[in-house]
Amino acid sequence: MTDIRKETIPRTANLPPGTLVHIGQRRIEAPVLSVIEYDPQHVREYQPADMEELAQPQKNGAVRWVNLDGIHDLEQVERLGAAMGVHPLVLEDIVNTSQRPKLEDYGDYLFLVFKMLYYNADENTILAEQVSLILRQGVVASFQEAPGDVFGAIRDRIRTGGGRIRTMPADYLAYALLDAVVDNYFVVLEHFAENIELLEDRLIEESTPEMLEEIYVLKRETSFLRKAAWPMRELAGAFDRTASALLSQGTRVYLRDLYDHAVQVVDTVELFRESASGMLDVYLSNASNRMNEVMKVLTIIATIFIPLTFIAGVYGMNFRHMPELDEPWAYPVTLTVMAAVAAGMLMYFRKKRWL
Amino acid sequence: MTDIRKETIPRTANLPPGTLVHIGQRRIEAPVLSVIEYDPQHVREYQPADMEELAQPQKNGAVRWVNLDGIHDLEQVERLGAAMGVHPLVLEDIVNTSQRPKLEDYGDYLFLVFKMLYYNADENTILAEQVSLILRQGVVASFQEAPGDVFGAIRDRIRTGGGRIRTMPADYLAYALLDAVVDNYFVVLEHFAENIELLEDRLIEESTPEMLEEIYVLKRETSFLRKAAWPMRELAGAFDRTASALLSQGTRVYLRDLYDHAVQVVDTVELFRESASGMLDVYLSNASNRMNEVMKVLTIIATIFIPLTFIAGVYGMNFRHMPELDEPWAYPVTLTVMAAVAAGMLMYFRKKRWL
Amino acid sequence: MTDIRKETIPRTANLPPGTLVHIGQRRIEAPVLSVIEYDPQHVREYQPADMEELAQPQKNGAVRWVNLDGIHDLEQVERLGAAMGVHPLVLEDIVNTSQRPKLEDYGDYLFLVFKMLYYNADENTILAEQVSLILRQGVVASFQEAPGDVFGAIRDRIRTGGGRIRTMPADYLAYALLDAVVDNYFVVLEHFAENIELLEDRLIEESTPEMLEEIYVLKRETSFLRKAAWPMRELAGAFDRTASALLSQGTRVYLRDLYDHAVQVVDTVELFRESASGMLDVYLSNASNRMNEVMKVLTIIATIFIPLTFIAGVYGMNFRHMPELDEPWAYPVTLTVMAAVAAGMLMYFRKKRWL
Amino acid sequence: MTDIRKETIPRTANLPPGTLVHIGQRRIEAPVLSVIEYDPQHVREYQPADMEELAQPQKNGAVRWVNLDGIHDLEQVERLGAAMGVHPLVLEDIVNTSQRPKLEDYGDYLFLVFKMLYYNADENTILAEQVSLILRQGVVASFQEAPGDVFGAIRDRIRTGGGRIRTMPADYLAYALLDAVVDNYFVVLEHFAENIELLEDRLIEESTPEMLEEIYVLKRETSFLRKAAWPMRELAGAFDRTASALLSQGTRVYLRDLYDHAVQVVDTVELFRESASGMLDVYLSNASNRMNEVMKVLTIIATIFIPLTFIAGVYGMNFRHMPELDEPWAYPVTLTVMAAVAAGMLMYFRKKRWL
Amino acid sequence: MTDIRKETIPRTANLPPGTLVHIGQRRIEAPVLSVIEYDPQHVREYQPADMEELAQPQKNGAVRWVNLDGIHDLEQVERLGAAMGVHPLVLEDIVNTSQRPKLEDYGDYLFLVFKMLYYNADENTILAEQVSLILRQGVVASFQEAPGDVFGAIRDRIRTGGGRIRTMPADYLAYALLDAVVDNYFVVLEHFAENIELLEDRLIEESTPEMLEEIYVLKRETSFLRKAAWPMRELAGAFDRTASALLSQGTRVYLRDLYDHAVQVVDTVELFRESASGMLDVYLSNASNRMNEVMKVLTIIATIFIPLTFIAGVYGMNFRHMPELDEPWAYPVTLTVMAAVAAGMLMYFRKKRWL
């Protein structure tokens, strides 16, 4: 589970392809492996003692969902992989948490890897956790970085027989998991939208230099969201279009729906990008407006008083022969002239609409 | 019916796919279900007592249009859906008013969902209402969020037998409804164009900080319009190209026309986007021009009077030995020098074209 | 014939598709219908008394060109349309002058609608007139909004037998008309290019706030030109690629040429867009340069005289015990110090390259 | 040969398609027609007396290269065209020097038209000359606007038998000519790159208002280069992909190479565009930095001396009852206070990092 | 090995295609040719005395890797090329180090050319070295500009039998080499990301004019990275999709993985571009904020003291009849008025939030 802003570059240089290297935060909790098996009539949940029993074929119509929380125990992942019969490269992708979301069709199984997004309200950050799915005939295996996921509602539906999940084959389960993840993107986007709206309101009221940083952070986060959303859309599209025999006709209609949701995620993210750009424009314009106002105040004060000060300076000169100085009317007249100059300036400013 | 600026993110996380959840504003009015049946000779309008009768097949060439105003009564939508024989996912899309416009081909029926736009002149906002269409052989079912729509003219044509609608099959009705919606986009765009033109005229005359906010709102609204217009274009294109047997040859030529209109909507929206960007440039330039003028006034006043004040300051010094002070010609000469300095400055400014 | 800046939004909401509504400026002149019939040996020009005779099939190899100037007499258009045997939607498009340029293949005839552009030198605007073409076997019908067109040279060539037009079938005539229109785009673009060049030259010499408005108008006009040019390119491309049997092999090579010209129009318009953006950058930079210069003048004057004025102020104080005041050398020394301060400032500015 | 900035709009309105009109600068030199015939063993160069002999078929494996320098003698071009058996439209394209680069496949011959670019170091401009190629079985005809080209090295290789050109068929010659032209683009780009680098260095050192114009000119030239480079890339791609039987397998591998070079030209031009945009950003930022510095100097001077001048002004007042004025310590104390105020201001500025 | 900023334009104008010209930095070290031959059981490393022996076919399943460090000895490259049986154009591409990355399928061999990137921490530059690969049945030949590469780990795996490389055919070796290069891009990107993060942190803290240059350099480097990354992605995609029989089914799954990595490189570079643009925005906004603050200080000081100085100036006038001057309370009252004016100004600024 990583802050999405930190997650850009995988590091497997100098290792042979297919080498298992866990990339991502090391965790101390022991990984938890759990299995749910169900058919329309029965549900059974257990923690398998032996990996090999997972390899046994399923009975007619039954679905087995193997979930592994924690992928840092490489040996465990490797044994599970062997039991599922997957290619070493798939295992490498599972444990390397900097994968680009993708779907790969290996003939007798599909491999899907994608990101689960969480919104961390406390730190106002978005966390990403990589989830890998293996879909075989009758079996779905999911690999997560850590305990905690967005699949609770699906487990409940399996347990209670709600919805149609118990009557559908394994590919529907895979779809349901992916759908839960995409739906959760909307939850994240909603928080995002709230932040944007809040910032917009504050911005229009008054814009401070601190907001610039906020806008910049927002822009960067949108970039990261975008980098996450586009491949998710590609993945959903590939899932929808794949010719794999693992997908039943009954599930395909749902995949089209999933694709629509992914497209909507992308559209919304693009809208956020535009909003962020627009906010920067508003911020810059506000700054320039404030500057303008500062300049106006300076100009008004200076242009009124500088000429007056000059007049005062003239009659502060010490020439012996300045006839005005001796006239009794000179002082009041000078003051009147000063007032007239000031009034003229003020009228000029009013005409210019600076006041 | 929602302000288009408020409408971005659907919320169905944690629900099984196909669950009916009404998303959108809750309404208190009871939903109204009405049916129009027509063939070239007859028209019959009624409110069906029983949903089941809607499921009965149509007589030769007759068309049945079932319209539901109000989709918040989920049970009613579900029964109507059952009567029409549609997939649960379709029902979910119908009641979730944050759908992306799309067309889906389910073999024996087509499902179309799109947005009807209204311009609310009082609040100067654009409202969007989601409309869903189901096109079966001989039947069109439309689902709207609220009473009131842009289909009045179509109803009149059916009642009076105007145009060729009574002689055409159900797919033509579906086309006519979609065409009425797209045509109404132009009404909205026209209001938009007027607003833009008005703002442009005001902007060129004089630009105030308030206009910045208006431009920003305009830009955002254009973004939303765009988000609505592009999928509408895709939808019209998909409608035109779909190979479905539900579309008769006679209707296809109209679909091409519909697509042209949708393309024109998109072109116009893109033009608005450019206009909004252009206005921002003009606004910023105007702001900078005004600033420039403020600075010039300050500079002219300051550069004329600061040297003069300095001269006055020199002869205001109290040195005992300042021979000029005693000369009778000193004061007039000083005043003349001051006038010459001011005149020189003014000539300099005129040469610089600051005056 | 409309100013291209005014022409964005068609208004046919609430009308049944295929209803003839004339959109565009109403005209008072009576529409003029004229016919030219030609084959390699003969030419005949006449104004038909009866629409029905236009429906008669052509003799071997002869071509009939029916031209209608003025489309506001809806009844006349309708009768001509009936004589030509075209679909009602085509007629609707012909009389609605806000069509997007397009080509439609109705099997036994092609329908083309596009814009003829004129440059109005007096008002420095670009006018657009919609032209519709119907191409049948041996017949071309053209519909124009008003008398006056760019087809004079084609008529002359038909009359005099110049070029190869008399020896070619009707599709070549359709091509020739479209080619004349596209060639005239270049005439418009040339005026545009001259305006741009002129504005560029003035801009580099000196940029005034009025130019900002001119640049803005230029940008908008480029947007409109672009909106006109792109569909023209699509139309030419569709004309080139269409599989219609109405196009003879001998004409196809010319269509490729036509498409090349349309592409060149688009390229040139895109170049204009970039020029307009570039000019805005130059304008803004010039404005900022001028501001910079104003600030420098203010700064130089103020920073030279403010310290001097301070010195003068010090010796203008009325303290009784200011020993310098009584020294005979004090005044000249003070003046010298002042001169030195001013000289130091000037040297500083020269070092900073402000002078 | 035209400055690429002057070359945008062809002018053939009102002329029948296929009319030969020479567009481009009129020249006084007589056109020169020269022929090189070669096979692996022989080379023969001559100036043909009679056009008809050019029409005679080639002996086995021999290649004939007909080159015409100067296309303003329309009659000569027409006779050569007739001898080569080309379509009138091709001749029109050859003499009209405002063609967009393109390749056209006329079945028994290919027609290529493209631009040769030269860098004119004296005026720092890029000149474009249109070259047209006709490739028939065993014959290549090239048409140039003026004497002088980039084909000298190819002639030398033919004469000396260097490279593999003498052993290859005519399509290789056509490739070699095009390759020479594309390679020369790199020479032009290199000059461009040098100019950009120079301007960048000067810009980072110090940016003057004159540079703005240079950047603007650079940007425009990049736009023109781009307009020339993209169709060249399309042309090379079309040459590579064309299914024409005129292209031998041995030449095809070279065409792929040619395409790679054309792609590299486009990539480089796009890089230049970005550089030019980047330079504008730097220029504007520099201008704003300089402004900032000017403002700081003004502010520092003004904020230090304005309060001091005020203090001096206070003790320059002529009130009779100002007890301080009579104290012997008053003057030194005042001066000390003034120094303290100035020092405080300086410390404030240092803290603000303005010094 | 060249700084990527220096590497844009190849220079082979005027040379016959297929001429070997070494482009790139001349080197003095002698080129080193080395061979590794391996099969699952054996490994043999040697420096071949004779080029011809490299041409001998491989035994069953064995793989021969011929590596040449240093391509400036043209004759040696030519002999090696002859021994490998490659086309002269391929040799030209190998020695010309300004190739655009590409893959070419010559039927019995594949030719790949691409860039190896290094990060030079001392000079903070990115160096590029061109690597060419020839993949034949059982043989891979690699050509590098200089000793030193990123293939050490692969050599180790071959020697120790680590990973699965010894059991795979020659195409896997080619993949492994390309994979090592792409993985090393991530190392470079990581340095880049660190630089960006550092610069961002400094920028938000305080932005100096020097940073502008750094941002500009960053932007340019991103442009160059982009120009390198996109064709790499195309190359990986072409490698993945090529139908060549040289690629075994076992290797293909790895190629898909390689393509994913290349896509990730491109995504990351695009993200960097956005970051750089964002930083420029922040820089410019910061500059404008600082300017704003400078202006505020000036305005506050000036608007407070200019009126006060005016008041002092009034009572510094030398009129004989100024009754206030003789009042004992006049001086304290004047000082009080001055304090009140200053206080009023300060309150105004506080209200305006300038303080």
Q: Any chain E CB within 8 A of the CB of A107?
A: no
Contact D330 C318 (CB under 8 A): no
pLDDT of residue E24: 64
Rounded to an integer, the average pLDDT of A59-85 is: 86
- Decide if pLDDT at B1 tops 60: no
Q: Is B155 left (phi over 0), alpha (psi -120 to 50) or beta?
A: alpha
Which residues 221-250 in chain A show a CB within 8 A of chain B? none
Of the two residues C21 and B342, the one the predictor is more confident about is B342
Six-digit token pair at C259? 């498409």
Whether residue B316 is predicted with pLDDT greater than 80 in this model: the reply is yes
Written as six digits, the tokens of C257 are 């040429």
pLDDT digits (tens, 9 = 90+) for A86-121: 888 888 888 888 888 889 888 889 999 999 888 877
Q: How far does the CA of residue C183 sit from the closest CA of chain D (Å)?
A: 5
Q: Which two tokens stand for residue D234?
A: 């399309």
Q: Among A263, A298, A317, whose Cβ lies nearest the Cβ of B298?
A: A298
Give per-residue pLDDT as tens, B124-135.
Answer: 778 888 999 999
Question: Residue A26: is its pLDDT beyond 60?
Answer: no
pLDDT of residue D4: 61
Characterize the bridge pairing of strands D63-69 and D139-144. Answer: parallel
**Which residues of chain A are within 8 Å of residue E274 when distances are taken between CB atoms?**
219-220, 223
Interface touch C8/B150, C-beta < 8 Å: no
Q: Assign D25 a pLDDT band (cuts: 50, 70, 90).
A: low
More confident residue, D2 or A148: A148
Specify whether the backbone of C337 is left (phi greater than 0), alpha (psi in -120 to 50) or beta.
Answer: alpha
Per-residue pLDDT reduced to its tens digit, A196-206: 888 888 887 77
Q: Decide if pLDDT at B30 tops 60.
A: yes
pLDDT more than 70, % of chain B: 91
- If you ran DSSP here, which 8-state letter would residue C99 be given? P
Interface of B with C in 201-220 (CB under 8 A): 204
Q: Tell me if A12 and E317 make a contact (CB, 8 A cut-off).
A: no
Is B17 in contact with A295 (Cβ distance < 8 A)? no
Over range D172-183, report the average pLDDT.
Answer: 92
Rounded distance between C-alpha atoms, residue D239 and residue D179, angstroms? 12
3-state secondary structure of D97: coil
For chain A, the average pLDDT equals 85
Structure tokens at B342: 């001011």
The tally of CA atoms less than 13 A away on the side-chain side of residue D325 is 17
Cβ D16–C163 below 8 Å, yes or no? yes
Write out chain E's pLDDT in tens, 355 residues.
Answer: 566 666 555 555 566 666 666 666 655 678 889 999 998 888 999 888 777 777 676 667 789 999 999 888 888 888 888 888 888 888 888 888 888 888 988 888 999 999 988 887 777 778 888 999 999 988 999 999 888 788 988 999 899 887 788 889 999 999 999 999 998 898 888 888 888 888 888 887 777 778 888 888 888 888 888 888 888 999 999 898 888 889 988 888 889 889 988 988 998 888 888 888 888 888 888 888 888 888 888 899 999 999 999 999 999 999 988 888 988 899 999 999 999 999 999 999 999 888 7
Determine the pLDDT at residue E114: 92
- Which residues on D lie below 8 Å from C322 (Cβ)? 331
Q: What percent of chain D is predicted at pLDDT more than 90?
A: 25
CA distance E250 to chain A (A): 11
pLDDT, residue A98, reads 80
Q: With beta carbons under 8 A apart, name residues in chain B contacting C291.
A: 288, 291-292, 295
pLDDT on residue E22: 67
Subunit contact A316:E320, Cβ cutoff 8 A: no
Shortest Cα distance from A172 to chain B (angstroms)?
A: 10
- Percent pLDDT > 90 in chain B is 27
Query: Confidence class of residue D83 from pLDDT cuts 50, 70 and 90?
Result: confident
Please name the member of A264, A303, A321 whose beta carbon is closest to the beta carbon of B298: A303
Q: Which 283-322 residues of chain D touch chain C by CB within 8 A?
A: 283-284, 287-288, 290-291, 293-295, 297-298, 301-302, 305-306, 308-309, 312-313, 315-318, 322
Of E236, E260, E230, the residue nearest A96 (C-alpha): E260
D58 phi, psi to nearest 5 deg: -80, 150
Q: Which of A224-233, B16-25, C301-310, D20-29 has the highest mean pLDDT?
A: C301-310
Nearest CA in chain E to A323: E319
Taking a contact as any Cβ pair under 8 Å apart, which residues of chain E between 108 and 137 contact chain A? Answer: none
H-state helical runs in chain A: 74-84, 88-95, 152-160, 170-205, 209-241, 249-314, 330-351
Across chain D, what does the average pLDDT equal? Answer: 85
pLDDT given for residue A22 in this prediction: 66
Which chains does chain B touch, 3 or more C-beta pairs < 8 A? A, C
User: What does the pLDDT look like over B285-307, one tens digit per residue?
Assistant: 888 888 888 888 899 999 999 99
**What is the percentage of chain A residues whose pLDDT exceeds 90?**
26
Q: Is D334 in contact with C317 (Cβ distance < 8 A)?
A: yes
Q: Are B52 and B81 in contact (CB under 8 A)?
A: no
pLDDT less than 50: residues of chain C: none
Instruction: Please compute, for residue C206, the number of CA atoms within 13 A of its CA located in the half-sphere on the CB side.
Output: 5
d(CA C340, CA C352) in angstroms, rounded, equals 18
CB-based contact, C355 to chain D, within 8 Å: no
Residues of B in contact with A317 (CB under 8 A): 312, 315-316, 331, 334
Confidence grade of residue B16 (pLDDT, cut at 50, 70, 90): low
Residue D14 has pLDDT above 90, yes or no: no
Does the pLDDT at position B107 exceed 90? no
Give yes or no for residue D298 having a pLDDT over 60: yes
Chain B positions in Cβ-Cβ contact with residue A204 (cut-off 8 Å): 213, 216
Q: Is E44 exposed, middle or buried (0-12, 13-18, 19+ CB in 10 A)?
A: exposed
Q: Is the dihedral of CA E251, E252, E257, E263 positive or negative?
A: positive
Nearest-Cα distance to chain A for E267, in Å, is 7
* Most D-contacting residue of C318, C325, C345 (CB-CB within 10 A), to test interface: C318
Instruction: Name the residue with higher pLDDT: A171 or D207.
Output: A171
Residue D97: its chain C contacts at CB < 8 A? none
What is residue D146's DSSP assignment?
S
Question: What is d(CA C273, CA C271) in angstroms, rounded to the nearest whole number?
Answer: 5
Place of tokens 């009131």: B148
Contact A303 B318 (CB under 8 A): no
Model confidence over D114-150: pLDDT tens digits?
A: 998 888 777 777 888 899 999 998 899 999 988 878 8
Q: Which residues of A touch B289 (CB under 8 A)?
A: none
Structure confidence by residue, pLDDT tens digits, B148-158: 788 988 999 89
ipTM value greater than 0.85? no
* Chain A residues near residue B328 by CB distance under 8 angstroms: 320-321
Residue A48 near residue A84, CB atoms below 8 Å? no
CA distance D277 to chain C (A): 10
Task: Using CB atoms, pick whichever of D102, D301, D322 lies closest to residue C302.
Answer: D301
First to last CA, chain E: 56
Strands E32-38 and E2-3: unpaired
Torsion sign over Cα C208, C214, C219, C220: positive
Q: Which chains touch A (3 or more CB pairs under 8 A)?
A: B, E
Q: Is A281 on the interface with B (CB under 8 A)?
A: yes
Question: What is the model's pLDDT at position C10?
Answer: 59
C280 contacts in chain B (CB < 8 Å): 281, 285
